[in-house]
């Protein structure tokens, strides 16, 4: 929770108790509870509005993929690099590269992309 462990939370609560004082503590606790209830009500209303707006269209959406906690840049880069090369005319996939080099059929790639089996340029001096 916000990078705070249990001990730090206790220290914060004690400091808040000393600053606010015992006379005003119930009033502030009531205001905090009111704020939390209002936030929950707002989120429930927003969720119901979104469900009403996307009743038929949103039924097939996988909302878990939009969860920011699932964001993993390594997975995104890996998926982008492992995409199949663009082929002209929807041709059938080419067979794998043999030990001797490229196969007879050439792979159509977009400009700037490597052909299937082609080694990426490597500069020893740059590393």
The pLDDT-based confidence of 41 (bands split at 50, 70, 90) is very high
Contact 32, 25 (CB under 8 A): no
- For 46-80, the DSSP string reads HHHHHHHHTTTGGGG--GGGG-GGG--HHHHHHHH
The pTM (predicted TM-score) of the whole model is: 0.39
Residues 6+ apart with CB under 8 A from 48: none
Contact 45, 37 (CB under 8 A): no
Structure tokens at 51: 């469900």
Give the model confidence (pLDDT) of 57-99 as tens digits: 666 777 777 777 878 888 878 878 876 654 555 555 544 444 4
Q: What is the rounded CA–CA span in Å between residue 65 and residue 57?
A: 16
Whether 107 shows a pLDDT value over 70: the answer reads: no
* Better-predicted residue by pLDDT, 105 or 31: 31
Mean local confidence (pLDDT), 44-52: 88
Domain boundaries, the chain: 22-53
């Amino acid at each position: 929770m916000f990078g705070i462990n249990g001990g730090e939370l206790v220290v914060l609560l004690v400091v808040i108790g000393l600053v606010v004082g015992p006379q005003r503590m119930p009033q502030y606790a009531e205001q905090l509870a009111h704020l939390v209830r209002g936030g929950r009500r707002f989120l429930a209303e927003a969720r119901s509005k979104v469900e009403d707006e996307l009743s038929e269209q949103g039924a097939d959406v996988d909302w878990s993929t939009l969860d920011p906690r699932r964001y993993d840049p390594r997975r995104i880069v890996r998926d982008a690099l492992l995409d199949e090369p663009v082929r002209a005319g929807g041709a059938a996939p080419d067979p794998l590269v043999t030990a001797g080099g490229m196969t007879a059929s050439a792979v159509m790639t977009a400009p700037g992309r490597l052909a299937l089996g082609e080694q990426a340029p490597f500069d020893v001096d740059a590393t």
